[in-house]
């Protein structure tokens, strides 16, 4: 078979082979670089947990949480323009006035819920899907809701591409929860509300836990751990001050039914 010739008369086959080798090596180097950055980020989070141990009432995270953070490729959950800082310990913009949470916050919110493999989890505020992916590394089923349709669609596609078949994404107002799949063992809310939404309390299983930032939009809020006893009685514990984007939607103020 006659080989394609370059204008200089040289065979192009070696050139094409070299191109493929170069692309392969570049992707390999990038993957290795992201892996190193991810492991370095976990060490930073571990240090931050020790520094905030008085708030958390513990100095170390569950090993399963650390393993999840070591596994989930955060650079796949952020826009291309911020991929180079994907493994910095800070929130990043993902479009539509939303953010991907600071990895330290993702870590402690996950850890405070004490997830187990058999738990059914509801997440309010899918965003890019990163928190859901971290939780899905630990639990068998995650239901996640996102009110911004393009983000919900992007997260669905991204999570499918990454092989997370134990995550179900729904475009809807998360304030009202997902009654079809309730009750939930764990509920994680990744947007700030002035109160704990009554529908979410109703959908939390007795013995279940919820983590939610409570406070005014665009101001410092309190990360609150809600625990529901077997008899339905609620206990609330403020963990530490945080700043989240607001929980949006068409819901009205809950009035006397609020828990805050």
- We report the CATH number of the domain holding residue 129 as 3.40.50.150
6 lies in a domain? no
The predicted structure's pLDDT at residue 30: 65
Residue 7, domain member (yes or no)? no
Domain for residue 207, yes or no?
A: yes
Average pLDDT for 222-251: 93
- Which of 86-90, 220-224, 250-254 is least confident? 250-254
What are the catalytic residues? 101
Is residue 129 included in any domain, yes or no? yes
SS3 call for 238: strand
| Residues 30 and 76: beta-carbon distance below 8 Å | no
pLDDT of residue 236 exceeding 80, the answer is yes
Name the pTM for this structure: 0.85
Answer with the residue of higher pLDDT: 86 or 31: 86
Give the domain range for residue 163.
13-257
Question: Looking at the domain assignment, is residue 113 inside a domain?
Answer: yes
Secondary element (H or E) of residue 216 = none
| Average pLDDT over every residue of 138-154 | 97
pLDDT (mean) for 215-222: 89
Residue 4 lies in a domain: no
pLDDT tens, 155-193?
999 999 999 999 999 999 999 999 999 999 999 999 999
Q: For a pLDDT cut of 90, what percent of the chain falls above it? A: 81
Would 5 be classed as within a structural domain? no
Distance of CA 2 to the CA centre of its chain: 54
Contacts of 103 by beta carbon, 8 Å cutoff, 6+ apart: 41, 45, 69, 74, 87, 89
Domain count, the chain: 1
The answer to whether 108 touches 46, Cβ cutoff 8 Å, is no
Residues 3-54: tens digit of each pLDDT: 333 334 444 555 555 554 444 444 555 678 999 999 999 999 999 999 999 9
Does the structure show a pLDDT above 90 at 144?
A: yes
Beta strands in 36-191 (DSSP E): 92-95, 98-100, 120-124, 141-146, 167-171, 184-189
pLDDT of residue 253 exceeding 80, the answer is no
């Amino acid at each position: 078979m006659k080989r394609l010739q370059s204008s200089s008369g040289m065979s192009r086959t070696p050139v094409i082979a070299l191109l493929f080798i170069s692309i392969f090596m570049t992707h390999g180097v990038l993957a290795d670089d992201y892996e190193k950055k991810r492991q370095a980020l976990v060490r930073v989070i571990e240090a931050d947990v020790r520094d905030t141990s008085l708030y958390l009432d513990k100095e170390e995270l569950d090993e399963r949480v650390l393993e999840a953070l070591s596994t989930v490729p955060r650079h796949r959950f952020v826009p291309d323009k911020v991929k180079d800082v994907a493994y910095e310990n800070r929130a990043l913009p993902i479009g539509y006035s939303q953010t991907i949470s600071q990895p330290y916050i993702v870590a402690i919110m996950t850890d405070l819920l004490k997830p187990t493999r058999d738990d059914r989890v509801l997440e309010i505020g899918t965003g890019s899907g990163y928190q859901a992916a971290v939780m899905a590394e630990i639990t068998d089923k995650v239901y996640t809701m996102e009110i911004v349709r393009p983000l919900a669609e992007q997260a669905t596609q991204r999570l499918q591409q990454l092989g997370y078949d134990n995550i179900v994404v729904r475009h809807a107002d998360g304030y009202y929860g997902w009654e079809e799949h309730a009750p939930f063992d764990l509920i994680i809310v990744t947007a700030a509300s002035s109160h704990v939404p009554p529908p979410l309390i109703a959908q939390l299983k007795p013995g279940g836990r919820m983590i939610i930032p409570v406070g005014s939009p665009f101001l410092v809020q309190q990360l609150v751990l809600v625990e529901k006893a077997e008899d339905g009685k609620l206990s609330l514990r403020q963990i530490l001050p945080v700043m989240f984007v607001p929980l949006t939607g068409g819901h009205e103020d809950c009035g006397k039914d609020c828990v805050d």
